[in-house]
Amino acid sequence: MDDRKLLILYGSQSGTSQDVAEKVYREAKRRHFATRVMSLDSYTVANLLQEGLVIFVCATTGQGDPPDNMKLFWRFILRKNLPSNSLVNLKYAVLGLGDSSYQKFNVIAKKLFKRIQQLGGQSLVPVGLADDQHDLGPDAVIYPWLTSLWNQVLSLSPLPPGLEIIPGHIRPPPRYNVLFSEESSKVPDLSVFRLGNQGNNAYSQSNPFYARLISNNRVTSEDHFQDVRLVRLDIQGSNISFSPGDVVSLAPRNSQESVDEFIQHMKLSPNTLFTLQQNDPDIPLPFTLPHLCTVSYLLQHYLDINSVPRRSFFELLVYFADNELEKEKLEEFCTAEGQEELYSYCNRVKRTILEVLQDFPHTSANIPFEYLFDVIPQLQPRAFSIASSLQAHPEEIQVLMAVVEYRTKMFRPRRGVCSTWLAGLDPRKGVHVPVWVKRGTITFPTDPATPVIMVGPGTGCAPFRSFIQERSSKQIAGNILYFGCRNQEKDFFCADEWTSLVERGLLTLYTAFSRDQEDKIYVQHRIEETSQALWNLLDKHNAYFYIAGNAKRMPDDVSDALKAAIQKYGNRTAEEADKYLLQLDQKKRYQAETWS
């Protein structure tokens, strides 16, 4: 490579790809590369023709789909009319971030690696396939992959004479410069601050619609172990449109309790005013913060102080450690040998960034305010399947949300940032929630004559409720729902609604209440019991089959029950049943939306 320019492009559904991309950026700067970091869709893809070295960091979503900020790039790079030598001058590497509990693990990274190769690109290292399910998390793949990558990069583009790799112990400059305002007595009312242009109906993370909270009623019994809410949001006046299978994203907030704890621990003043300035022309200022911001607003809306930290978090903390005991432990967490202990300390018990900072008081006391933007990742939006139809509920979005709370060995229970915040909002106070709608990964058939079989235990029924409402409002039958939960009297969501549709002949409902009898009954058992009817619908009536819910065991168990039905009533071998299911998948007649 003639010059030492490097481009890092990331595509992410959450903030993980961006976090990894920024780690690569810091490593590239240490090696004196002129480096840019951009999301894939903010990059003009035609410029790849002129690039010499590009590192792609990308996630996979849903049914093997690209993340939102990669979709335009993806459509372009897959165009069949691109010449096979388009990228002959490009040297590249691809790092995928995925979860092997999903059926199409890291498929976007694999396809991207292969596609660029087809267009003449020269790969530096094999595609990296990081896995959230690995005992040590995605870092188990990321760090060895980066070591191989930098060895290759420096062999092709050695350091200029007189320059050496900047040692790891030298602290990099902060991402942003911070200017504190002297007018601290004039604290603005940021409760009325609104992102974006409210007259623009193209809603997104940078321009959300502020939907009024109508209600967030509990739909499980008070004595049930899990609190599940049906959240209703008023989108009147927004012109927001959506279809069954689409998702609504919203920007959550940290709890006031954790914000107050952080402020107290870091000895900050909540009303201190500041503005940010660029410190690097390649790193834009965050668009989700007001120009004149308070420390309190920053902590409530922007810094993800309740997330479980990654290894890179500890690498940055080392720069501020002057206490020998704390420094020794932090450095150990940054070594390959210390990863098992780091996993036990952080991931196994879901210890938060705030709790880690409290565990390392001398180090956290040394962190300058401007470095908080480097050390702590940005709070990411949360996405939920829309659980309602505009046909049934005009100008409204409904979400079926489980309030996340569980215990580990930590003294305090672990709580979901978004679900806890949303469940705690009082609709009587005129609360508004920033939202935007995105195309979902599930697509439903448009032909009213097509039977649709839906397996949605727990909150997995949310996208199916949207579709059933849509069809029922038009008096369209052929809807088959398999719903599972623990107890009929405690967590049978929307029971009255389903029963009414059954009585009207618009829904066929099979229920599995796992704890209402001695032998546990799950949705896969109901599929086994009705397998002949299922096979008839699939083979004779071109039915579509959907699964939505927790990715642990249910999707595989349901898939196995379906294959058994194909074997038994389709008179096929196990291998032929697999092939039949693959054909359904390719025709989009078999779809799964699962999460871990």
Residue 96's SS3 state is: strand
Q: Binding site annotation covers 502?
A: no
Phi/psi at 595 (5° precision): -145, 155
Q: Binding site annotation covers 467?
A: no
Q: Binding site annotation covers 12?
A: yes
Q: Binding site annotation covers 132?
A: yes
Q: Binding site annotation covers 461?
A: no
Q: Binding site annotation covers 419?
A: yes
Tokens of 471: 């069809």
Q: Binding site annotation covers 98?
A: yes
Q: Binding site annotation covers 508?
A: no
Q: How far, in Å, CA of 288 to CA of 298, rounded?
A: 10
Q: What is the DSSP string of 309-350?
A: PPHHHHHHHGGG--SHHHHHHHHHHTSSTTHHHHIIIIITTT
Q: What is the DSSP string of 208-252?
A: -EEEEEEEEEE-S-TTSSS-EEEEEEE-TTS-----TT-EEEE--
Which strands form 176-180's sheet, in the order they lie side by side? 176-180, 273-278, 293-294
Q: Binding site annotation covers 14?
A: yes
Q: Binding site annotation covers 246?
A: no
Q: Binding site annotation covers 60?
A: yes
Q: Binding site annotation covers 523?
A: yes
Residue 524's alpha-carbon distances to 376, 481, 537, 555, 570, in angstroms, are 42, 12, 17, 9, 18
Please state at what angle helix 495-503 crosses helix 462-472, rounded to 10 degrees. 30
Q: Binding site annotation covers 458?
A: no
Q: Binding site annotation covers 411?
A: no
Q: Binding site annotation covers 13?
A: yes
- Is residue 246 within 8 A of residue 408, CB to CB? The reply is no
Residue length, the chain?
596
Q: How far, in Å, CA of 562 to CA of 389, rounded?
A: 28
Q: Binding site annotation covers 520?
A: yes
Q: How far, in Å, CA of 386 to CA of 235, rounded?
A: 13
Q: Give the chain's count of helices (H) and strands (E).
A: 19, 22
Long-range contacts of 167-174 (CB under 8 A, 24+ apart): 168/30, 168/315, 169/318, 169/319, 171/319, 172/26, 172/29, 172/30, 172/374, 173/279, 173/280, 174/279, 174/368, 174/370, 174/371, 174/373, 174/374
Q: Binding site annotation covers 385?
A: yes
Beta-strand pair 432-438/209-218: antiparallel
Q: How far, in Å, CA of 94 to CA of 10, rounded?
A: 10
Residue 416's SS3 state is: coil
Q: Binding site annotation covers 15?
A: yes
Q: Binding site annotation covers 430?
A: no
Among candidates 201, 228, 195, 231, which has minimal Cα distance to 213? 231
Q: What H or E segment, with its residue span, contains residue 396?
A: strand 396-402
Please state at what angle helix 554-570 crosses helix 574-586, rounded to 10 degrees. 110
Q: Binding site annotation covers 166?
A: no
Please state at what angle helix 16-30 crosses helix 139-156, rounded to 10 degrees. 40
- Is residue 278 within 8 A of residue 177, CB to CB? The reply is yes
Q: Binding site annotation covers 595?
A: yes
Phi/psi at 288 (5° precision): -90, 0
Q: Binding site annotation covers 196?
A: no
Q: Binding site annotation covers 383?
A: yes
Q: Binding site annotation covers 335?
A: no
DSSP 8-state class, residue 128: E
Looking at this protein, which amino acid is placed at residue 424?
G
Angle at 498 between CA 492 and CA 501, to 5 degrees: 170
Q: How far, in Å, CA of 398 to CA of 488, rounded?
A: 22
Q: Binding site annotation covers 104?
A: yes
Q: Where are the alpha helices (DSSP H) in 96-241?
A: 107-118, 139-156
Q: Binding site annotation covers 514?
A: yes
Q: Binding site annotation covers 109?
A: no
Q: Binding site annotation covers 99?
A: yes
Q: Binding site annotation covers 105?
A: yes
Residue numbers belonging to the annotated binding site for FAD: 382-385, 416-419, 595
| Feature table: binding site for FMN | 12-17, 59-62, 97-106, 132
Binding positions are 12-17, 59-62, 97-106, 132, 382-385, 416-419, 459, 514-515, 520-524, 557, 595
Please enumerate, by residue number, every residue annotated as part of a binding site for NADP(+): 459, 514-515, 520-524, 557
